[in-house]
Structure 1
Amino acid sequence: MLVREGRPEQLVEHLARLGSSVRACFSHELPGALAEQVRQRAAGLDGPHRLRVTAVLDAGSLCLEMTHAPLNPPGAAPPVAPWVLRPVVVPGGWGRHKWADRRALDTTPGPWSPVCDPLLVDQDGTVLETGRANVFVVRGGVVTTPPVDGRILPGVMRARVLSSLRAAGYEVREQDITLADIAGASEVFVTNALRGARPVGKIHGVGAWAPGSVTVWVQRALADAPWRTGGIAPIDTTR
C-alpha cells in the first residue's frame, strides 16, 4: 500500500482483501491489532513509501511480515511517462490473490521497467490485467474493465476508480475485453494503489494512444479524493 505523510492510504480496503485471501488460502483470520501495527509503522516513514504486509503459513500458524521501501529511488523523480505494455499469455491469469511469489512472471522475457509492464492475456485472447495494475479501456465514451471473475486481482484502486466514475455519471462496464477491442479504443489507462491512474501510450502489436480526457479526469479525482486529502469517504470493503 502507499504511505503518504506517514499515513497508509486505503488501509481498510487492503486489509479486507488480505483477510479474504488468508481465510481462503490458510483458513485463518488476521489479528485484530494488525491495522494499528501498520499505522504505527507508517507513522515513522518520511516521504512517500510502499509498505507491504506478507502473510505466510508456518507449521500451521499464520506469520505476518511488514516491509517498506521508498516509493521512488533516492533522488529520482516519479515516473510520469505513459506506460508501455507487451502482451504475455498467462493461462487462467494470476487469480484473485496477490501472491508474494512472482518468479514465474518476473522471469518472463521483456524490457520491464517502472513504465513498461506485461499485459496478461488468457489463452482465448481475453485481456486480464498487467503485472501490477488493472486495465481500463475507453470506447465510444464507455469505460470498460475486465470483470472480477477469479482470473484477476480485485485491485483496491480499481474499486475506487469504478466508484468515482459511476458517481460522476460515466457509463462503466465490467466485462471481457479482447485485444481487438483495445485496438479500437480512444484511450487506455491502468490503475494501482501506488501510482493511482496512469495512461497507456502503447501496447505492442495492438495500438498507441495519447492520454485522454477520462484518464485525466480520473487522475484529478484521485488527487482530490477525501481519503487522500484528509477527509472521510465511504469505504466499500466488499470489492
Structure 2
Amino acid sequence: MNTNVPELIWHNGKVRPWAEATVHVTTETAMRAVNVFEGLRAYRQPDGRLAIVRLTAHLERLETSAALMHIPHPGLAAELHDGITQLLAALDPQGDVYVRPSVYVDTGRYTAERTEMTTGTIVTCFPAPVRPMEPMRCIVSSRRRIADDALPTAAKTGAAYSGFRLARLEALEKGADEAILLNQHGNVAETGGAAVFAVRHGRITTPPLTDGILASITRATVLALAERLGIPAAEQPLTPGDLHGADEVFVTGTLDEVRIVGQVNGHSPRHGDHPIGSALREEYLAMCAGTRPALDASFLAVIA
C-alpha cells in the first residue's frame, strides 16, 4: 500500500485534514488493537468515473467483523459508505485508489455494552500501489495462522495482523516477497493479505473456509470467474507439498488482485507460463477496469 500521507481523511463523520484525526495513546485500539477494518480498491472506468469492487460485500464483512469482535456500532455500514463517498469526493483522485474503512474502540476495556464504551470510525484513501508484473516468491512461514478458537478468523481485525507482520518479516529476511501461513493442523491457510490457489492437471484448488481463513471476497470472485471460464475448481485442504508440486500457484486479494507465484520455498511451478492463473488475472483486471462484463450488477459500485 502507498504510504504517502494524503491531505484529507474522514474521521468520525467529517472530512478533515489528516493531522487532525487523532486518538489518545491509551485508547483500546492503540493499546490492544481492538479494531476491525476493510480494504477496498476503486478503479477508473472507461467513462472516467471511479468504481469500487464489491463495496456492499466489503461493508457487510466489516459489520460481521465488528460483531465477532464485540464492537457494537449501530449503522456501521451506512456510516462508512457515506464516509467513503464524502472522502473520495473531497480528494477527487485521478487514478485508481485503495480505500480503508475502519471502526475502533476508544474506551471500554472489557465490555461489549454500547453504553459503556466509545467507538470511532475512519476512512483513509491512498493511490493504488504499482501493480507488480513479475511472479512473486513465497516461503511457507514457520509461524502459524492464529486459530479460530483463539481469535475469530472470519474477523478482519488489527490484532491478527501482528502475526501476519511477523510472517512477512520472516519472508523478507529470507529474500522472499511474501509468507504463506499454515493452520494449526499444518495445512495451507493464507498469506497476510491473500487467499492461496494451486493448479494441478487443469483444476484449481483453494483451502476451504473451515481451514481457518478469512472469507476473502476476491477469492469468491475468482472461483466464480473460474466457473465462467469453464475451469474446474474445488475447495479442499492443501499441504505445502501440494504447492511444491503444483503446475501453478497464485494468490488473490484486494491488493494482490490475482498475482502469480513463481516460487514456493524455492520450488518453481511446472508450468512457467502460468496459463490458468494468467487467464484469471486478465479476466479479473478487465472486469475491475470495466472493459469486460462484470459477474453481476453488484461487482462495481460507482462512487465518483
TM-score, length basis structure 2: 0.68
Q: Which residue of 2 aligns with 1:58?
A: 106
Q: Determine if the alignment matches structure 1 residue 25 to structure 2 residue 69.
A: yes
Q: Which residue of 1 aligns with 2:143?
A: 90
Identity of aligned residues (%): 25
Q: Which residue of 2 aligns with 1:68?
A: 125
Q: Which residue of 2 aligns with 1:36?
A: 82
* 1:46 pairs with one of 77, 94, 109: 94
* 2:201–2:247 Cα contact (<8 Å) kept: yes
Q: Give the ranges of 4+ consecutive aligned residues of structure 1 lying more than 3 Å apart after TM superposition.
A: 89-94, 205-209
Task: Describe the SS at the equivalent of 1:15.
Answer: helix
Q: Which residue of 1 aligns with 2:53?
A: 9
Distance 1:118 1:26 in 2: 29
1:116 and 1:169, CA in 2 relative to 1: closer, same or farther beyond 3 A?
same
Distance 1:117 1:97 in 2: 21
Q: Determine if the alignment matches structure 1 residue 79 to structure 2 residue 132.
A: yes
* 2:139–2:264 Cα contact (<8 Å) kept: yes
Structure 1 gap ranges (5+): none
* 1:89–1:122 Cα contact (<8 Å) kept: no
Distance 2:66 2:256 in 1: 25
Q: How many Å apart are 1:62 and its aligned residue?
A: 3.2
Q: How many Å apart are 1:148 and its aligned residue?
A: 0.8
Give aligned pairs, total: 230
Deviates more, 1:209-218 or 1:131-140: 209-218
Q: Which residue of 2 aligns with 1:180?
A: 241
Distance 1:203 1:132 in 2: 16
1:31 and 1:187, CA in 2 relative to 1: closer, same or farther beyond 3 A?
closer
* 1:201–1:211 Cα contact (<8 Å) kept: no
* 1:139 pairs with one of 200, 206, 217: 200
* 1:148 pairs with one of 209, 215, 226: 209
Task: Describe the SS at the equivalent of 2:56.
Answer: helix
1:127 and 1:188, CA in 2 relative to 1: closer, same or farther beyond 3 A?
same
Distance 1:166 1:112 in 2: 38
1:149 and 1:89, CA in 2 relative to 1: closer, same or farther beyond 3 A?
farther
Distance 1:138 1:65 in 2: 39
Q: How many Å apart are 1:190 and its aligned residue?
A: 0.6
Q: How many Å apart are 1:3 and its aligned residue?
A: 2.1
How much is the aligned-residue C-alpha RMSD, in angstroms? 2.5
Task: Describe the SS at the equivalent of 1:40.
Answer: helix
Q: How many Å apart are 1:33 and its aligned residue?
A: 3.3
Structure 2 gap ranges (5+): 1-39, 45-49, 108-116, 148-152, 300-304
Task: Describe the SS at the equivalent of 2:172.
Answer: coil
Q: Determine if the alignment matches structure 1 residue 212 to structure 2 residue 271.
A: no
* 1:7–1:39 Cα contact (<8 Å) kept: no
AA aligned to 2:106 is: D
Q: Which residue of 1 aligns with 2:220?
A: 159
Deviations 1:26-58 (A, max 9, x none): 253415232132123234222222111121122
Give runs of aligned pairs for residues 115-130 of structure 1, distance below 5 A: 116-130=177-191
* 2:263 pairs with one of 187, 199, 202: 202
* 1:3–1:50 Cα contact (<8 Å) kept: yes
